[in-house]
Copies of this chain bind each other. A is one copy, B any other.
Amino acid sequence: MTKTRKSSNGAKRPTLQDVAKLAGVSTAVVSYVINDGPRPTSDEMKLRVNKAIKDLNYHPNAYARGLRLKRTKTIGLITYDFSPMSVYMSSYSAGILTGLTGRLREKGYFNLVSPMTIGEDLRPLEELLQSERLDGIVVRPIQAPPATDALLERIAASHIPCVCIERPGADRFGFSAVTYDDRRGAYDATEYLLSQGHRRIGYIRGDTRFVTVHERFAGYQNALRHHRVRYSEEFVWGEDWSDSTTRAGVDHLLSLPEPPTAIFAASDGMAFVVINQLRKRHISVPEEVAVVGFDDIEMASLFVPSLSTVHVPLLEIGQLAADLIIEQVETNPEVPPSTHVLPVQFIRRESA
C-alpha cells in the first residue's frame, strides 16, 4: 500500500480550503453555503460551491467543527447498573436502546454508550463529561435518588444537558425524565388475578436495590388492600433476580400450609423461572397455579405457556428521551424540566 500523504490513512481527505480553492471562492463562502448561513450567498456561489463539494466528495471534519462550535452531535447514554454490561444483556434495556438510538440517528445525532457499574470509580465518567465529547446525556439510573446522587451530581456539575430514563433524579438536579407507571402496572396485574378469583397471590419481588422493584411491589399491595384481600408477608419472596432465589421462592410458596393459587413475578425473566420450577414439580400453569410477569419482553409471547404480563413501552421510552435531550441541546433558552410518565398495559396471555 502506498503511503503518500497522511500518517495512517493513505489519501488525504479534502478540506474546506480545498473546496474553496476549487470553487475559486473564499472559505467563508463555502461555510455559508454548507451551513446555509449565517450570511446570505448568491445562487451562483451556491452552485459553484456545491459542485466543488461533490467533485471532491468533501465532508466536514466533525472534530474541527466540534472544536469550533462546541457541538458534537453526540449524545451519551450512561447506564448505572450493578453488572457492567447488563445494558445489552437484558431484552428490557435492549428495547430502550433501540428506541433511543433510532430516534437520535433520525435527527442526525450519534450515540455513545457508556455503561457504568455501581460502586465503580467515577473517574472515567468525569473524564467523559469534561472532555467535551457530549452535547447531552441520557442516564438510566436504576436506583432511588440517594444512591444515584453521586452520579447525577457529577453530571449536573458538568452542566451538560441531561435526561433521566426510567427513574427521575432528585428534583434539585432539574433533569427532565421519562418514566413509566410500574406501580399501576403491578396494580392492574394483581387486580386481574383477583378478578379471576385468586385470593392467595404469591409475589416474587426481585432485587430490592432497584426502585422499580419497590414500585411494583407497592402496586401489588395497593391492589390487595383496595380489594380488601389479606396481605401476608409469607407470600412475598426475593432479594435479587437470581434463578436460584426465584426457584427457592417457588418452593417456599408451595410449602405453605395454604399455598398461593397464583404467582406474580416482578419481571418476565423471573416469571420464566417460576414456570420452569412449577413444571419441575409437576404443577400445571395456569390450571393449578397462574403466573404473571412484568415487562413484556420479546420472549414473553414465545414462552410455553405464553406469559401474561405487563407491557412496558420500552421503545417509546427511548424515543421520547431522544426527543427531549435533543430539544434541550438545541434550544438555547433552557427548557424547563418535565417528567413524562408513560402508561403501561396488562396483557393477558396463557399463563394466567
Q: Which residues of A contact B (CB under 8 A)?
A: 1, 6-11, 13, 57-64, 66-67, 70, 72, 74, 84-85, 87-89, 91, 94-95, 97-98, 101-102, 105, 110-115, 124, 126-128, 130-133, 158-161, 243, 269, 272-273, 275-276, 279, 298-299, 302-304, 329, 332, 334
Contact partners of A272 in chain B: CB under 8 A? 299, 302-304
Contact partners of A161 in chain B: CB under 8 A? 8
Cα(A218)–Cα(B102), bound, Å: 35
Contact partners of A67 in chain B: CB under 8 A? 61, 63-64, 67
Cα(A159)–Cα(B4), bound, Å: 13
8 additional A-B residue pairs with CB within 8 Å, beyond A88-B98, A272-B303: A10-B159, A59-B127, A62-B131, A88-B97, A110-B128, A112-B112, A273-B302, A276-B304
CB pair A59 B332 closer than 8 Å: no
CB pair A159 B11 closer than 8 Å: yes
Shortest beta-carbon distance from A76 to chain B in Å:
9
Shortest beta-carbon distance from A316 to chain B in Å:
14
Contact partners of A269 in chain B: CB under 8 A? 302
Shortest beta-carbon distance from A54 to chain B in Å:
12
CB pair B101 A113 closer than 8 Å: yes
6 residue pairs, one from A and one from B, having the closest CB atoms: A59-B130, A62-B131, A9-B159, A85-B98, A63-B66, A88-B94
Contact partners of A329 in chain B: CB under 8 A? 8
CB pair B59 A133 closer than 8 Å: no
Shortest beta-carbon distance from A103 to chain B in Å:
11
Cα(A323)–Cα(B98), bound, Å: 26
| A279-B299 contact given A57-B130, A62-B131, A94-B88, CB 8 Å threshold | no
CB pair A70 B7 closer than 8 Å: yes
Cα(A111)–Cα(B276), bound, Å: 37
| A85-B112 contact given A9-B159, A67-B67, A131-B62, CB 8 Å threshold | no
Contact partners of A61 in chain B: CB under 8 A? 67, 131-132
Cα(A303)–Cα(B269), bound, Å: 10
Q: Smallest CB-CB separation from A108: which chain B residue?
A: B124
Contact partners of A91 in chain B: CB under 8 A? 89, 91
CB pair B94 A89 closer than 8 Å: yes
CB pair B332 A7 closer than 8 Å: yes
One of B89, B275, B276 near A98 (C-beta < 8 A): B89
Q: Smallest CB-CB separation from A276: which chain B residue?
A: B304
Shortest beta-carbon distance from A70 to chain B in Å:
6
CB pair B298 A276 closer than 8 Å: no
CB pair A112 B110 closer than 8 Å: yes
Contact partners of A113 in chain B: CB under 8 A? 101, 111, 113
Contact partners of A160 in chain B: CB under 8 A? 9
